[in-house]
Amino acid sequence: MSAKTSPARDYILFAVFAVAVLTMPIWLAPIGAGYPDLLQKFAIFGLFATGFNILFGLTGYLSFGHAAFLGVGSYTAVWTFKLLGMNPVPAAIMAIIASGIFALGIGYVSLRRSGIYFSILTLAFAQMSYNLAYSVLTPITNGETGLRVLRSDPRLFDGKGAEQGPLIANLFGIDMTGWGGFYFCAVILLIGFFIAQRIFRSPFGIMLRAVKTNQNRMTYTGLNPRPYTLAAFVISGMYAGLAGALMCITDPLAGAERMQWTASGEVVLMTILGGAGTLLGPIFGAALIKYFENIFSAFNEQTLHEIFSFLPDFIEGPVISVAGLFVGEGWHLTLGVLFMLIVIFLPGGIMEGVSRIGKLFKRSSGKSEPNRATAPAE
């Protein structure tokens, strides 16, 4: 890989990506995704998955507890709103710091083990956080109701004028809901992507990939893997915390369900679906899942009738009842099937599919590259 990287290529990739992200409202409109709430989710979960990928994609450590950092970030952001005011920047910074510290603690303990033991340890920590957030930590988390900003909160730096109007985050007068919120998230995603890109290309990045492929050789090469994995864990925890903060910046409410292990499973799925270890893959994966979630879960019998109306009645009936299983409430079924299909047939995710198709074209046009064997997909 190193032979093919160059600063110029990376800047071009970044520029193309930046343009694509910022113009999403335009080019995603035709497929019904051009509205701010959904695009905010694309950006937020894209950021979450990008961070997760720094840990899982590079080092191969499969964390099943990243939702805990998402939750910590969310709660910290809302508390920052409550104490300091509705500006999103301090909220984001505080969330990064808090989730980083949290990740340092959990990572320090969990990384003493590898393989499935690591997965179970992270899962255990996340479940503990989730259960505690629901029970004894209610004074901090407000339990089931969720934590929100109240008018009676101090909000030290909010001007007097902030007494009126809805309690939403605003960046020097720009409300962080709707398009304002989307562009704020998009810019953060771009910063996050840029950092991830640099990490991928850095000496630190190659050490993380070394951890994944052979820790034994690494130690006999004079390298201590533990600080590398811990650094990756903390960085990805910070990404998760920042994503959690963005959720509250666009909608100032933090609930414990964000920390449940299904949420951790979701980010794993996003990363795998897009392609673990690739830069763009996890972001694609996140967007795709959030898109399907929105579209599919909005389907109902009526829309299915419209779609399949071209079929003769006696076929249409069964088709609709089968398709009905997969949409609306049953969207999770689609998710599960998708999950299985990807793991079975395309372990490298969408990005591997893309590169396979790319190779197919290259081969057919006679420009094969004899020296580049593909990495076995793990």
**Chain residues 135-164 in contact with another protein, contact rule CB under 8 A:** 135-137
- Residue 346 interacts with another protein (CB under 8 A): yes or no: no
Q: How far is the CB of 329 from another protein (least distance, A)?
A: 8
> Which is closer to another protein, CB of 162 or CB of 355?
355
- Collapsed DSSP state (helix, strand, coil) of residue 129: helix
Joined tokens for residue 363: 């081969």
**Widest CA span in the chain:** 71
Distance CA 77, CA 98 (A): 10
Q: What residue has token string 């290529």?
A: 9
> Phi/psi at 308 (nearest 5 deg)?
-100, 15
Candidate segments 25-33, 82-90, 141-149, 217-225, binder of another protein by CB under 8 A = 217-225
Residue (228 or 291) nearer to another protein, CB: 228
Site for another protein in 292-321 (CB under 8 A): none
Q: Exposure of 59 by Cβ count < 10 A (0-12 exposed, 13-18 middle, 19+ buried)?
A: buried
Task: Single out the residue of 150, 333, 357, 360 in contact with another protein (rule: CB under 8 A).
Answer: 333
Print the binding letters for residues 24-63 with another protein: x by CB under 8 A, - otherwise. ------------------------------------x-x-
CA distance linking residue 174 with residue 368, whole number of Å: 52
Give min distance, CB of 315 to another protein, in A: 21
Stretch that binds another protein, among 83-91, 105-113, 248-256, 359-367 (CB under 8 A): 105-113
According to the binding rule CB under 8 A, does residue 325 interact with another protein? yes
By CB under 8 A, name the one of 17, 69, 125, 183 that touches another protein: 125
Indicate the length of the chain as a whole number.
378
CA-to-CA separations, 41 to 26, 331, 362, in angstroms, rounded: 16, 17, 35
- What is the size of the binding site for another protein (CB under 8 A)? 85
Segment lying near another protein (by CB under 8 A), choices 167-175, 204-212, 240-248, 350-358: 204-212
Do residues 169 and 176 touch, judged by C-beta distance below 8 A?
yes
CA angle at 219 for the pair 214 and 224, rounded to the nearest 5°: 110
* Shortest Å distance, C-beta 333 to another protein: 4
262 interacts with another protein by CB under 8 A: yes
In the complex, what is the shortest distance from the CB of residue 130 to another protein, in angstroms, rounded to a whole number?
Answer: 9
Of 218 and 288, the one with the shorter C-beta distance to another protein is: 218
Taking the chain, what is the end-to-end CA distance rounded to the nearest angstrom? Answer: 17
**Which residue among 84, 162, 223, 307 contacts another protein (CB under 8 A)?**
223
The single residue among 74, 99, 119, 170 that binds another protein, judged by CB under 8 A, is: 119
Per DSSP, the three-state class of 153 is coil
Alpha helices in 202-280 (DSSP H): 203-213, 215-219, 225-250, 261-274
CB of 249 to another protein, least distance (A): 25
Rounded (5°) CA angle 145-255-331: 110
Nearer to another protein, 216 or 302 (CB): 216
